[in-house]
Chain A
Amino acid sequence: MAHYHNKTPFYNPKNDNRVNSNPGKTESPNQGNAFHVGKIEARNRDRTQVHNNEFSVVKSSNVKDNWTPYVQPQGDLFYVKESDHPRRPDRQYNYTDSVDQKEEKDESTFFEDRLRESPYSDKHESQYREKNKNTSYDNNPSPDLNNYYEKLGHNKYSHNLYRKEDQNSSRSSGYSDSSPPHQELNNGDINHNSISRNVHTPHVNNHGYDSDFYDKHSDVSVDRSSVDSTPTKPAKIKHVYITPNPYSCRNGESFSGIALCEKLFGITLYHYNHKQSKSSLETTYKDRKLLVQHVSLSSPAGRSQQIHRGDMMVAVNDVGVTWENLETICNKLSSKVVKLSFQMPNVVGPKPSPPPPVNPQFAMTSPRPVTTPSPRPPRHRQPGENLSQLVFGDSRQHHLEYLQDTSCCVMYLTLEGDGSSDTESVREDIVYQYPPGDSKLLEVRGLFLTLCGVLPEVASTSARSSTLVHQRQKINIAYQRDGKDILVIGLPADKVPKSCVEEILKQLHHLILVLYGPLHSAFRDMKHRSQIDQLFSLSLHNLHNISQSAMLSSQSSKIFTELIPGPKAINFTDDTKLLCDEILSEFEASDFDDFLDPISKEARREYSILGSCTFYKEYLLCNHLCQSDLQDIHLFLKHHCIIQMLARKPVEELVVWREMFPSQYCHKTQSCPQGYQDPHDARWFLLVIGMKQFLLCTLLEAGGCSRAQKGNPGPHPFIVSQAKATLLQFEADEVTMTQSIEHRLSKISKGPCLSCADSVITGHKQKKDENIIITPQKSRLSSKNSHDDHDIVGKGGGSEHSTPVMKRQGSKLSYGSNDSGESSGSVGISNKAKMTKAGSVFDITSIPHVVLSQGDEISHIRLTRGVDNCLFHFISINEFEGTYISPTQQEMSVVNGALQEVILNHFYTACLHIRNVFQQSVKNKTKQVDQPKKYGEDTSFTNVKEQGVMFTCVIPQHLENSKKQPPPLSLTYWVVGRKFPDEKEMYVCFHESVPQTAIEMAFKLDTGLSLS
């Protein structure tokens, strides 16, 4: 709830006692005499909070656990203190008082020093200076801030490949170029200075993205008197040209000046309390200033993005305006462009420490900053560095060195160019390379160019990959050709097997297509460089980290999971799923009417939400996107290491905003069916909000049914705040998502139980779970074949109700209501299994609260028959949904052991091979069978369903003090992969206890489908 302050009878700058308030002091909301407010708009208290610099308010919440350290109760409201990072000292408005000149000077030089350091400064600085001629404000370090961000090398804008920035078109169309942002204000008096003042103003300045997405307006003329050392400075005036909206006042009513102003421009001015003593009315009336309280987002003023709260209106069309003549002036306005002049407030107070130098598109803070302790002045960092450090705890230098040592390399070469290269620089064909610097691969790039250029002419196929040996080290290279250009990646073979290199390049290629459009524009356009650098740096770093994993099994497992184009999912109870679905659906419904001001309500919606998905740590919690969108977003998160980071530690707040070109809209390979067609000229944006260990990714569309966005729009603060509110709902009382997820993760029995190889070897039986009940399932689908004696083991632990309930449910379940379109019998049985498991939960939840706790229990799944459990490991990939399931860390840690590690390593290596066979067989399907075969052409395996490998492990036994050594122990186990017709794959590893039944287990693998 916004904390508006005590009303004062009138505003008198002389009485303003905020000037000397102490910096750093925490201001309570009731202090301070800022503008007095005549009218407090009714705010909706229920839903969300207002982010302030330091205080946010959640609805009165009883959740103590997670929030206590951050919460500070005041009365019946709770204030949540946000981040731990260096607190900004208080800054205040002051119109007349002096500004600390010295500090500003220091500031500007401080920034300029940084500018010089930057490697991009030469190029961009001049450009920027030109652009910024008219718009920089003197005492406002924010232009330098803008500059600073630009110097960081990344763009302030989300990229727009399809529309050039049209500098002069913004007069009436809405988006004008940037005005530098205001200072953040830390006092309790004034909330944010940025655009909108409704309740859902996001916590802007901690992230700093707000400041960077303003375009520049070249028409704003400012009095750029230089900073001088006189105590009183001339006030800064800015002129804004906007087209008023005449339609809203056409009803013939006569409005008062303030209302008129509001209707025409969308500027809400502060009302004053009219209950004055009449004697002083005259004088005060004249002295009254016209201060902007609020600017509606979708109004002409809001679209200009230059009018902010706290501005004082001084003139309209160069006619001085006061409280008295406001009405007359406004009534005389025609609908042409109006020039409004505002006086900017001076900002006093100590210089703010610049926000943490982060990539504005990856603005985030962490509760435990890994590298920079707060007292140190933030140093100028490269964009990727911060992210890498936060994720991996590794310095960039070290990482670069590693990359060069092991000759990892990504190059974008071009075949164009004239043949003569004696005088020109030899490096003309390198359009882009990462890491910068020389490497052996770079020197032999002629080889790659020749291969990729010549092979299509000779063999009518394009080059995919090759292997080099350099200094006894094998390097795998993969190629992707795009017209005249080639994208090449080289990775050492001992870290990444050959088949994986191709897949990794394919994923990176896909990601670049999704983020930037066609390859050539992505790499040739200089403005994308830094982002692409960051992408490759993180991605290669991630690969490097994988290979550094201590255990071989985790190495091979991570390599395998890298190749799966989808996130890891986990099976939750239906309750949890339902709640997640509800929360997300509410957000996606975009029913924000309650929070919009009237003007915005009438305007066309800015963005429409296409879908969203939520992650917790590295698991996909809930997904409302279609598979290709989910894959795009997941690739983005994975290659920027956001998921990996989230899996390790919570973030305080993360906001990412990118324009993207989702593959299903922009890179469609098939033509869309008749009827509804997706909008051609729409733009799509990705918004990622992270909080704690939750991540909410939203795909927004601009165009089509929502308003088309021009230029490079920044993240819409309203939607950002809504998204944050949605995330916070996960933490609400009734939901307590974290708890239930952690509960699920720690409960090892929720997934199919694993057995430990070491214990099998040593004959040490695992402690039997006494609560396991085997309920034989009556066969409902007698038409289906042989698998009618399916065992689903119900966990009876916890309550006595479960046993009778389960048995009762077993007989009541009805099948067949689910999709029955399964073709193969085995999959149909999975259907049945799914119903069984789900059915029990559904029925239980229909019984009210008594057994509600049982509704959380997922039946204890056992995939194997026989007395002993012989399942070592499994992984189930669902390509249709784009997710995969495998045992959680906790489940694996129970059955850990030395032998288990080796077995897992073999499992994943074998899975790689098996998956290759599956993929090859899919490719083979499309080849023609009739043509005479050539050598090596292999189309004999076209529809591989299953492949298995049996491993034998012989462990010699040594007994001391015995003459005759006992025979060595041997353990045989299978790794079987099965491909289901509906785009699912499942790989299991199980111990071969009894020869016959172990293989029969292959049939039971389809019960794994019940996991998803």
Chain B
Amino acid sequence: MIAVSQDDMADDCHLTNLLNYAFQIVVLLCGLDEVTNIKNIERFKKELKVCNQLIDKLVEPPVSFSTLTNTVETIASPESTILQNFLDAFTEAAESSFGCLYVDDRIVVATRKWWSLSSNELVLLTLLISSLQRCSSRDIPIFLPDSHPTIPHRLMTFRLTKKTEVCVICGQTPSLTDLEHEVGRFWRPAYDSLLSATSIVPRNIPSCMVLDPNIQCFLLVNTETSRCLGSVYSSPESSGPLGDFLTVPQRREVLSSFYKKMVGTFFNSVIEGSDTGPLEFTHQPMETYITTDSHKCYALQSGPYQLYVVYTDSIPTYAMRSVSHKTLSLLTKDKNIQV
């Protein structure tokens, strides 16, 4: 497989990561057997068409943080415990142990077994679900690239509200129609919780949590659990008294490119191959920052956590460090945040 991209001065590991995902998408949808034993090229090409849409999602902007960081995006909802109960019950009814509840393509809650999937798989499933058209329910055969690349599973998704979706991975039973009937029964009482969970989107953090007004967007990555929490809406879009803010697409772009610059050269992360750069240093880089005339970025890592923050230009450079540390502690200590 060959990837061609513009030179963004980032470490090569990011491009390799992309290639890896592209391959795994193919495996996800077509199965490893098909890929390794291509009997008929033409037929294979037709089969590959299924993957096109997903691969497009991989490279087209806006690039999601999950593929960027190789961690799955989550959301910090205060109702996660309640929703967890509902999800567990529903998953059991579906005779499976893999279940997950998505709000706006981010995981709110998921069963334990779901979390045990590899980070690649988690990300791919998220990507898949976000790439498909909206429908109330669907049943797709998938191959789990890391755990069971040759055995097809059924992925069933049900749309609960406008933005929420519940997914289960099952075997042969139950059928889609059967499970569809169960959905209403299990999830109707959870409607309010779902709504409140939906309300924190797109900010992705509980509204009671107040961050520094200079923060434009941030990304918190947990390298151990392969989860991340990103928010590009931490501050309003319009220009505030403290200086001009970037637009949302710009923020996303800045955060992504900042991440790419740091990981691979100074930080190492979940991304494969990202540790070759930092290995040049016998002393570990812990924090780093870049300032430009339109924004300032700060990145720090502490333990398993890495935090990447984009500030406005008006924050004094020396203050970034303390603010970032505070933000990190705020985010990690909150019980709602499951990163």
Residues of A whose CB lies within 8 Å of any CB of B are 459, 902-903, 906, 909-910, 913, 916-917, 920-921, 933-938, 940-953, 972, 995-996, 999-1000, 1002-1003
Contacts and interface: CB of A to CB of B under 8 A. Distances in A.
**What 9 A-B pairs are tightest by C-beta distance, nearest first?**
A936-B5, A999-B318, A938-B8, A953-B283, A950-B287, A935-B59, A951-B283, A936-B6, A949-B288
A951 B284 contact: yes
27 contacts: A909-B280, A916-B9, A920-B9, A921-B292, A933-B253, A934-B5, A935-B5, A935-B6, A935-B61, A936-B7, A937-B6, A938-B8, A940-B253, A941-B254, A943-B292, A943-B293, A945-B292, A947-B288, A948-B288, A951-B283, A951-B286, A996-B318, A996-B322, A999-B320, A999-B321, A1000-B318, A1003-B318
Interface of B: 4-10, 15, 59-61, 63, 250, 253-254, 257-258, 260-261, 265-266, 280-294, 317-318, 320-322
Given A935-B59, A940-B253, A945 B291 contact: yes
A902 B282 CA distance: 8
A466 to B, nearest CB: 12
Contacts, number: 109
B225 to A, nearest CB: 23
B290 A947 contact: yes
A938 B61 CA distance: 12
Contacts of B318: 996, 999-1000, 1002-1003
Contact of A944 (B280, B292, B321): B292
A996 B283 CA distance: 22
B6 A949 contact: no
B284 A952 contact: yes
Contacts of A909: 280-281
A864 B201 CA distance: 46
Contacts of A916: 9
Contacts of A903: 283
A944 B290 contact: yes
A922 B235 CA distance: 29
A943 B281 CA distance: 27
B9 A917 contact: yes
A935 B60 contact: yes
A909 B63 CA distance: 30
Nearest to B253: A940
B293 A945 contact: yes
A191 B250 CA distance: 78
A413 B294 CA distance: 45
B77 to A, nearest CB: 30
Contacts of B59: 935
Given A935-B59, A935-B61, A1003-B317, 7 more contacts: A934-B6, A940-B250, A946-B289, A950-B285, A952-B283, A999-B317, A999-B321
Contacts of A972: 286
Contacts of B254: 940-941
Nearest to A974: B287
B322 A995 contact: yes
B249 to A, nearest CB: 9
A105 to B, nearest CB: 65
B292 A950 contact: no
Residue of B10, B250, B266, B289 most packed against chain A (CB within 10 A): B289
A937 B253 CA distance: 10
A951 B285 contact: yes
Given A906-B283, A913-B265, A933-B61, A995 B5 contact: no
Contacts of A941: 254, 257-258, 261, 290, 292
Nearest to A973: B283
Residue of B9, B253, B282, B321 most packed against chain A (CB within 10 A): B9
Contact of B8 (A936, A943, A945, A951): A936
Residue of B266, B287, B292 most packed against chain A (CB within 10 A): B292
B193 to A, nearest CB: 37
A946 B317 contact: yes
Contacts of B320: 999
A937 B59 CA distance: 11
A934 B60 CA distance: 7
A942 B293 CA distance: 8
Given A943-B293, A943-B294, A946-B290, A937 B285 contact: no
B250 A902 contact: no
A950 B261 CA distance: 15
Nearest to A919: B9
Contacts of A921: 292
A916 B8 CA distance: 11
Contacts of B322: 995-996
Nearest to A929: B250
B297 to A, nearest CB: 9
B286 A950 contact: yes
A73 B66 CA distance: 84
Contacts of B292: 921, 941-945
A940 B257 contact: yes
A944 B260 CA distance: 16
A909 B279 CA distance: 12
A109 to B, nearest CB: 60
Given A937-B8, A940-B257, A917 B321 contact: no
Contact of A946 (B63, B281, B287, B291): B291
A88 to B, nearest CB: 56
A951 B6 contact: no
B8 A948 contact: no
Given A940-B254, A941-B292, A949 B285 contact: yes
A1002 B320 CA distance: 13
A1005 to B, nearest CB: 11
Nearest to A995: B321
A947 B291 contact: yes
Nearest to A909: B280
A931 to B, nearest CB: 12
B283 A938 contact: no
A944 B7 CA distance: 17
Nearest to B321: A999
Residue of A943, A951, A972 most packed against chain B (CB within 10 A): A951
Contact of A950 (B253, B258, B288): B288
A902 B283 contact: yes
Contacts of B280: 909
A559 to B, nearest CB: 12
Nearest to A945: B291
A932 to B, nearest CB: 8
Contacts of B294: 942-943
Nearest to B12: A467
A938 B289 contact: no
Contacts of A935: 5-6, 59-61, 63
Nearest to B262: A949
B282 to A, nearest CB: 6
A952 to B, nearest CB: 5
Residue of A902, A941, A947, A953 most packed against chain B (CB within 10 A): A941
Nearest to A465: B7
A903 B285 CA distance: 12
A972 B281 CA distance: 14
A951 B284 CA distance: 5
A122 B320 CA distance: 71
A691 B5 CA distance: 53
Contacts of B286: 950-952, 972
B294 to A, nearest CB: 7
B56 to A, nearest CB: 10
Contacts of A948: 288-289
Given A943-B293, A945-B293, A938 B281 contact: no
A297 B253 CA distance: 70
A913 B9 CA distance: 10
A921 B257 CA distance: 12
Nearest to A971: B283
Nearest to A978: B291
Contacts of B282: 902, 906, 953
A949 B266 contact: yes
A1000 B322 CA distance: 13
B291 to A, nearest CB: 4
A154 B68 CA distance: 57
